[in-house]
């Protein structure tokens, strides 16, 4: 089992798709990482995670640690950005603080994900 940045990658997946389990890595960034690590033909040959050699694993690890902000660093950066918005008193920060949708979605009929489940009121007459 291959482990990068505290994340276990699936053995039976192609390496391009297995890398997307890391927070901050999508398909395009996974392709970039494989190119920088010297595995340019990994997608055409269909190399799976379990088929990687130790040298290839170390190359990928070096690229991940050197060139990209991923996992804990990215979580920390995101949380600092949200805290900054809340301290500034911006509209986005106020919406974060109130637990409402931030990006302009309507809340009259939808928005249950951010607002929570429906609350029933006892004794309400219709």
- What pLDDT was estimated at residue 27? 94
Question: Which regions in the chain score pLDDT beneath 50?
Answer: none
Sequence-separated (6 or more) residues with CB below 8 Å from residue 112 = 118
Sequence-separated (6 or more) residues with CB below 8 Å from residue 113 = 101
- What pLDDT was estimated at residue 126? 65
CATH architecture, domain defined by 3-67: Orthogonal Bundle (1.10)
Note whether 30 and 16 are within 8 A (CB).
yes
Domains of the chain: which residue ranges? 3-67, 72-102+109-114
pTM here is: 0.76
């Amino acid at each position: 089992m291959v482990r990068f940045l505290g994340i276990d990658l699936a053995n039976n997946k192609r390496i391009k798709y297995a890398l997307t389990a890391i927070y901050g890595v999508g398909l395009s960034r996974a392709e970039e990482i494989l190119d920088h690590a010297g595995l340019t033909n990994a997608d055409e040959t269909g190399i799976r995670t379990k088929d990687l050699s130790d040298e290839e694993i170390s190359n990928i690890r070096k690229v991940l640690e050197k060139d990209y902000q991923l996992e804990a660093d990215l979580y920390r950066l995101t949380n600092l950005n949200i805290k900054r918005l809340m301290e500034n008193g911006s509209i986005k920060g106020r919406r974060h603080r109130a637990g409402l949708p931030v990006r302009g979605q309507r809340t009259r009929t939808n928005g249950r994900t951010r607002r929570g489940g429906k609350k029933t009121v006892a004794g309400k007459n219709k």
